[in-house]
Amino acid sequence: MSEQKPGWRELPRGAVPYKSTEEYETGDWGVEYPEIDRSRCTKCMLCHFYCPEGAIKVREDGYTEVDLRYCKGCGICAEECPVKCIKMVLKT
């Protein structure tokens, strides 16, 4: 984060953020990331609903996909998956 941040005269008043959280990629926080085994996935979408970051999207074909730019690696998806097709993998 070496960008030049605005000074107090420039910043919007009311302390409102001038940037969207979309630009704040929290994906590098995690130690592990989820890997989905789609051969066993039942498309139940529970991982999509349980993800606290909204980082798991549902694709056109009904399978879910993790957006690793935002996934913090909490592992809730793997814990909640009823068929245990999500595995947390250590980042190397």
Partner 1 sequence: MMKMEKQILMGLNGDEAVAYAVKQVNPDVVAAYPITPQTIIVERFSEYVADGLVDTEFVAVESEHSALSSCVGAAAAGARAFTATAANGLALMWEITYIAASLRLPIVMAVANRALSGPINIHNDHSDSMGARDSGWIQIYCENSQEVYDACIEAWRIGEHPDVQLPVMVCLDGFTLSHTMENVLTLPDETVREFIGERRFITVKGHTGEAELRLNPEAPLTMGPLDLQDFYFEHKLQQVEAMKHALRVIPEVDAEYAEVSGRRYGVLHPYRMEDAEVALIGLGSTMGTVRHVVDTLRSEGVKAGLLKMRVFRPFPAEELIEAVGDVPVIGVLDKAASFGAPGGPLYEEVKTTFYDEADRPLIADYIYGLGGRDASPQLIRDIFRRLEEIRARGEVAEKVSFVGVRE
Give the residues lining the site for partner 1 (CB under 8 A): 5-8, 11-21
CB of 63 to partner 1, least distance (A): 30
Of the two residues 10 and 60, which places its CB atom closer to partner 1 in the complex? Answer: 10
CB of 6 or CB of 82, closer to partner 1 = 6
Shorter beta-carbon distance to partner 1: residue 8 or 90:
8
Across-strand partners of 33? 89
In our burial notation (b when 16+ CB lie closer than 10 A, e otherwise), range 1-22 reads eeeeeeeeeeeeeeeeeeeeee
Token pair 């910043």: residue: 11
